[in-house]
Amino acid sequence: MRALAEHLRAPVGLTVNGLGILPADHPLCLRDAGARNLEPRHRNLGRNLGAWVEQADLIIALGTRLGERTVRAWDAEPGRLIHLDLDPQVIGRHYPVEVGLVGDARKGVQALLDLLGKDPGPSAWSDAEIAGEAQADEVGLFAAILAALRQSLERDAILTNDMTLACYRARRLFPVYAPRSFLSPHYYGTLGFAVPAAIGAKIAQPQRQVVALCGDGGFLFTGQELATAKQQRLSLPIVLCNDDCYTAIRQGQERDFGGRYTGVDLENPDFVLFARSFGIEGVRVQSRPALERALHTALQVDVPTLIEVSLPEFEL
């Protein structure tokens, strides 16, 4: 896919589960294909991908369902679409295709490269356009937390996500450089995914750094798996963003129901004591430097560490 993009000089929009297929610092990378429309106030984060779709003379979709979560930022249907996927039921389900290709993505892309030949013709996209999109940035609470994570981790580190605001921002703000290193329950939206997914990733890739990122609500679905992580002697920082609330759901109720809230406020345990009850370290941090120090320490030990980020008290 990288060879195809470079051959065509074509910008690449990545779905959430495709992050890392093209490194985030590659000059053709546009990052997450569906993250721009999560909230209206985030539409200024670079150019909305819908604008790229509208202006493109051709979209080549590889291994994607083009489902609602992926195309939520698209304001128009793609004019011309080549869709390659292993599942024939996916092709043409959401958008009409000019060419549908059923098969393995690697073999299919190689076949396209072979057919293109040496000179595909000039590209209409300017380097400045693509660079401006790739360099878009944000400041704020979650940006600081995600920057601390990225600063503390190696390039091929694996980040597992849950369904929480920090992870929604991570799709846009956490640069991913390696394939299959950003694990997200994006399609089914499974609360509690981050901790067991991190355990599985660390067992499968023990030589790589693995961090679980979750919210307080999601953590309570599977937090008992700290016992498994300790038993397996896994070096596994778990970064838990706590604001005693299902905040994303609360925001939806505020937006859609005039602030009539139900079932969103949480009565959480003391998460530091919860971790220590399993015989592992628990620490509460309230600033980016403290988070970076906690991550550094947690990555040096062979047991999990719970790092609670107190969101209301967090200092930028």
- The string of pLDDT tens digits covering residues 280-299 is 999 999 999 999 999 999 99
> What DSSP character marks residue 108?
H
Rounded to whole angstroms, how far apart are CA atoms 212 and 11?
A: 30
What pLDDT score does 131 carry?
Answer: 67
Buried-state track 80-103, b at ≥16 Cβ within 10 A, e below 16: ebbbbbeeeebbeebeebeeebee
What pLDDT score does 33 carry?
Answer: 55
Rounded to whole angstroms, how far apart are CA atoms 151 and 163?
A: 22
Specify whether the CB–CB gap between 212 and 194 falls below 8 A.
Answer: yes
Residue type, 92: G
User: Domains plus CATH for the chain?
Assistant: 2-134 (3.40.50.1220), 141-313 (3.40.50.970)
Asked whether the whole model's pTM tops 0.85, one would answer yes
Average the pLDDT over 191-207 and give the result: 98
What pLDDT score does 4 carry?
Answer: 93
Specify whether the CB–CB gap between 105 and 63 falls below 8 A.
Answer: yes
- pLDDT class of 37 with cuts at 50, 70, 90: very low
Residue type, 271: F
What pLDDT score does 48 carry?
Answer: 61
Q: What is the CA radius of gyration of the chain?
A: 21
- The string of pLDDT tens digits covering residues 299-311 is 999 999 999 999 9
Residue 106 has pLDDT above 60, yes or no: yes
